Chain A
């Protein structure tokens, strides 16, 4: 992230920096190093970046000056507070330090762009996240009720009948009689899960099957095509795999790092504290 922002911000930040340095040079002249607050180029960039990230636009000259004054005040006050030992035992500060440590651990991890091998094995390990779902293309003849003779006659006609339009059989269906390439989730959304399971069990081909019950009524079904779930090759989905590897993988690796640090400590829980 820092890498992305730094370069284009340089010109802008330089300008803001000059305004501040003039001011700083006049007011801070002649102080010792210990009492000098140095505002680095990186600090300026960080302030501008923070502003831009939160406000959604670049800081103006006044914003920049305001942030610098705040920053200097904060530095000065923080140093004083530290001298007085105020950092010790403060929950907020401890939490913040722990968070920074955590960020540092995960930042370290981000240094290397992952190789193809790393991503390949990530893809393999987390197949379910990248799999294209199985899909069904099917036709159906619809009946509102389950009157057996009517339906078995229709089934007989569909499988053995002469040349005729299968769409002329059954009752009108409000939506479509033919669906292509629907994943199970979509079939369930339209017909309910019982129908999905029934369709999944059917052989694709020319044969009509049924009766199949759904939440909407009774159907005769012909599955024209079924494609299995598959895992796309890495080159087709590299950005998504890399993003997942970064997000999820980083979290997992950071957790491991944290654990290994915790493991370096002996933990003693006072009597009665376990209640």
Chain B
């Protein structure tokens, strides 16, 4: 019903320009916006939005696909952008496998549909009899019942997205423009300043190549592009250029025309070492101009999502006991393992500082956000209510390998077939994550987008814990218990995403402050991760129980555990963690970046919850529990003159 209404308005628009003459038809004016659920949103009174000077934490998901993405439609996703926003507002929406999806933890504050720009909305048209696109032989193959033909036809689309070579007969520019317009309109329809923020957004789908990968298999260089207010009439895609630097050029051009945007890269973890490599896309040396352009267009990176964590890898951070967290390293659509070097955020921070030291520029001075990348319009953020992200191929527990493949009853009887293999290589390694937190004055496009620009953001792996982080060379003593702590910290310090310039001798103080999600597990510890050109160090700075050991910089064990027979947590944790911390190894002449990582007490992983529900043992080769976490954008310390 909704779909029709929406598309009819496009039809009406087309008529306004295409019809013979407006005067003689008169019919155009009889087209009224049909009454539907939208009315409630439009009619709702808009309260005055009072900005909160000390800023509020708003949570959202910046990475959502709908039926208009080629790789969602093929897996039976039929839901629209309207459905996506309804889901984020707390309404229940159906998964393509037939069950209900309701958002964990209550409605979100912001949400963005980021359909792939490449062949945007083309697959739905190819599957609609009567359209020219549906007459293409490849359309008949793609929507046949022969799995081989389907795969072949779909892989051709993936290959084209990857190579940038258009399949001309599928490249229906007016149709893609019109679908892009529909997505923009849906975002506008659901934007309710002060209550719920949406953005016009899309995904740019650049992929690196390895000779043995088919379809769009390869290293992930995807970016999501967000527009602050006005959006252009088309979306720059890999079918324009597969070089992300050309995307930045296009964004710069748009910016010159008053259209402001940012791009957020995701899944550097599966970029095959390409996301943060020390050369340009074409293999040229990096330059100050490159760094400027990259930072102007990409102030943030998505560090956690369903396809794993991009913070760091155990091989890169052997002394970080928490580095082995939801690691996923298979290239896109492939069983090949991604190169680790050049694929993780913490290492990029370090390389950025090296470059700054040696060359005077830093292309990796970005903040952190989280998202789901759900292709079924709704993100699965909770371990105990998970549905993965693709569609019918990972919609049920057996397909994602959390329970033995029926009729097998135990893991010893697990058969080897294409479904269990995909579950082994891909889906069982995926993660119930993540969300973006921003500190902003109000829940509006302007305020939230500006927080993105400031990098005043933090990423969580699903729960909505809140993290404040400030630094200053001269915080007042006693600030940590001052009733006006937040406003004084803003007044006398700088916060996450910012730069702290040294004075040659003073040691900065860092205020680290975390608050649990009132509806999720309590907190175990707050940490500061320090990165310099020379290395990295993880410091526990606030503990649920006791104080960090001054030698090991570790909290005493708080004894938190989980009863695997019930998934019940076995002990309590902290509601709040707060510390004024200074770096015991601080060197006023050394560049450094500091970010906060907050860990919850352990809880059951989604695969354990599903095994429990099914009455079978959890999959032996995956962790049974995990510690949900949050990462803030760093504060960069630069030595003064």
Please tell me which stretch of B124-132, B428-436, B527-535, B618-626 contacts chain A, meaning at least 4 of its Cβ atoms lie within 8 angstroms of it. B124-132
User: Within the assembled complex, what's the spacing in Å between the Cα atoms of A133 and B523?
Assistant: 32
Pick out which of these stretches binds chain A: B34-42, B160-168, B314-322, B342-350.
Answer: B34-42
One digit per residue, 1 when the CB lies within 8 angstroms of any chain A CB and 0 when it does not, for chain B 519-544 equals 10000000000000000000000000
Residue contact B519 to A188, C-beta cutoff 8 Å: yes
Residues of A within 8 A of B129 (CB): 70
Known contacts A58-B18, A237-B43, A246-B35; is-contact A189 B518 (Cβ 8 Å): yes
Type the 1/0 row for A41-63, where 1 means its CB is closer than 8 Å to any CB of B.
00000010111111111111011
CB of B11 within 8 A of CB of A52, answer yes
Q: Is B414 at the interface (CB under 8 A from chain A)? A: no
* Interface residue ranges of A51-82 to B (CB < 8 Å): 51-60, 62-63, 66-67, 70
Chain B, range 448-507, C-beta contacts under 8 Å to A: 464, 466, 468, 480-486
Interface residue from A51, A56, A172, A236 paired with B178 (Cβ < 8 Å): A56
| B127-183 CB contacts (< 8 Å) to partner A | 128-133, 135, 174-175, 178-179, 182
0/1 string, A172-192, CB within 8 A of B gives 1:
101110000100010011111
Q: In the complex the two chains form, is B486's CB within 8 Å of A172's CB?
A: yes
- Cα distance, A103 to B536, chains bound together (Å): 66
Query: B486 and A63: CB pair below 8 A?
Result: no
How far is the CB of A19 from the nearest CB of chain B, in Å? 16
A-facing residues in B17-32 (Cβ within 8 Å): 18-20, 25-28, 30-32
Are B182 and A7 closer than 8 Å at their CB atoms?
no
| Count of A-B contacts judged by CB separation below 8 Å | 172
On whether the beta carbons of A4 and B466 are closer than 8 Å, the reply is no
Residues of A9-31 whose CB lies within 8 A of B:
9-12
- In chain A, residues 233-265, which have Cβ atoms closer than 8 Å to a Cβ of chain B? 236-237, 239-240, 242-243, 246-247
**B40 near A168 (CB under 8 angstroms)?**
no
User: With A and B bound together, what is the CA distance between A7 and B18 in angstroms?
Assistant: 14
Complex Cα gap A215–B574 (Å): 10
The yes or no answer to B289 lying at the interface (CB within 8 A) is: no
| A167, chain B: closest CB distance, angstroms | 6
B518 contacts A56, CB within 8 Å?
no
> Main SS of the interface on chain A?
helix
**B54 nearest CB neighbor, chain A only:** A176
Q: In B558-591, which residues have CB < 8 Å from any A CB?
A: 575-576
B4 CB within 8 Å of chain A:
yes
Query: Contact at B40–A240, with CB atoms within 8 Å?
Result: yes
Q: Which residues of A contact B8 (CB under 8 A)?
A: 1, 4-5, 52-53
Number of interface residues of B (CB under 8 A): 68
Is A56 a contact partner of B466 (Cβ separation < 8 A)? Answer: no
Asked if B25 and A53 sit within 8 Å, CB to CB, the answer is: no
Q: Say yes or no for A118: interface residue by CB 8 A criterion.
A: no
Instruction: Give A78 to B441 CA distance when docked, in angstroms.
Output: 64
Question: Would you give the shortest CB distance from B224 to chain A, in whole angstroms?
Answer: 22
How distant is A209 from chain B, measured CB to nearest CB, in Å? 19
Option from A50, A57, A215, A236 in Cβ contact (under 8 Å) with B516: A215
User: For window 87-136 of chain B, which residues contact chain A by CB distance below 8 Å?
Assistant: 90, 105-107, 121, 124-125, 128-133, 135
Inter-chain CA distance A216–B517, complex, in Å, is: 8
Q: For residue A62, which residues in chain B have a CB less than 8 angstroms away from its CB?
A: 132
Decide if A137 is an interface residue (CB 8 Å cutoff).
no
Q: Is the CB of B130 within 8 A of A51?
A: yes
Partner of A185 from the list B106, B125, B135, B485 (CB cut-off 8 Å) is: B106
Q: Quick check: B106 and A189 within 8 Å, CB to CB?
A: yes
Residue tally, chain A, CB below 8 Å to B = 59
Q: Smallest Cβ distance from A122 to chain B, in angstroms? A: 13
Q: Which residue of B lies closest to A50 (CB)?
A: B130
CA distance A52 to B14 in the complex (A): 10
Whether B7 sits at the interface, judged by CB under 8 Å, is yes
B256 on the A face (CB < 8 A): no
Residues A56 and B182 in contact, CB atoms below 8 Å apart: yes
Contact among A66, A191, A195, A247 with B1 in the assembled complex (CB-CB below 8 Å): A247
* B57 close to A (CB within 8 Å): yes
Q: B39: which A residues are within 8 A, CB to CB?
A: 237, 239-240, 243
Assess the A215–B519 pair: CB atoms within 8 A. yes
Please pick, from A56, A171, A216, the residue contacting B121 in the complex, using a CB distance under 8 A.
A56
Pairwise interchain contact B576-A58, C-beta atoms closer than 8 A: no
Known pairs A7-B30, A58-B14, A63-B132; A172 contacts B7 (CB<8 A): no
Contact B179–A53 (Cβ < 8 Å): no
* Nearest Cβ on chain A to B614's Cβ, whole angstroms: 27
Q: Do A144 and B576 contact each other (CB < 8 Å), given the known contacts A57-B10, A171-B481?
A: yes
Q: How far is the CA of A7 from the CA of B513 in the complex (A)?
A: 62
CA distance A237 to B518 in the complex (A): 34
Interface residue? B56 (CB, 8 A): yes
Q: Is the CB of B128 within 8 A of A55?
A: yes
User: Which of the residues B57, B133, B483, B516 comes within 8 Å of A216, measured between beta carbons?
Assistant: B516
Q: Is A170 an interface residue (CB 8 A)?
A: yes
When distances are taken between beta carbons in the complex, the residues of chain A under 8 Å from B131 are 51, 54-55, 59, 63
A67 CA to B130 CA, complexed, in Å: 5
Cross-interface CB contact of B486 among A9, A174, A188, cutoff 8 Å: A174
**Other than the known A66-B135, A185-B90, what 18 A-B pairs have Cβ atoms closer than 8 Å?**
A1-B4, A4-B31, A8-B27, A10-B25, A50-B128, A54-B7, A56-B7, A56-B10, A58-B15, A188-B106, A189-B106, A189-B519, A192-B518, A215-B575, A216-B516, A216-B575, A239-B40, A243-B39
> Top 4 closest A-B pairs, CB basis?
A7-B27, A239-B39, A54-B128, A172-B485
Q: List 30 A-B contacts (CB under 8 A).
A: A1-B4, A4-B31, A5-B8, A8-B15, A10-B25, A11-B20, A47-B130, A51-B131, A52-B10, A52-B11, A53-B3, A53-B4, A53-B11, A54-B124, A55-B125, A56-B125, A63-B131, A66-B130, A70-B129, A144-B575, A172-B481, A174-B468, A174-B486, A176-B54, A190-B518, A216-B518, A217-B576, A237-B39, A237-B43, A240-B40
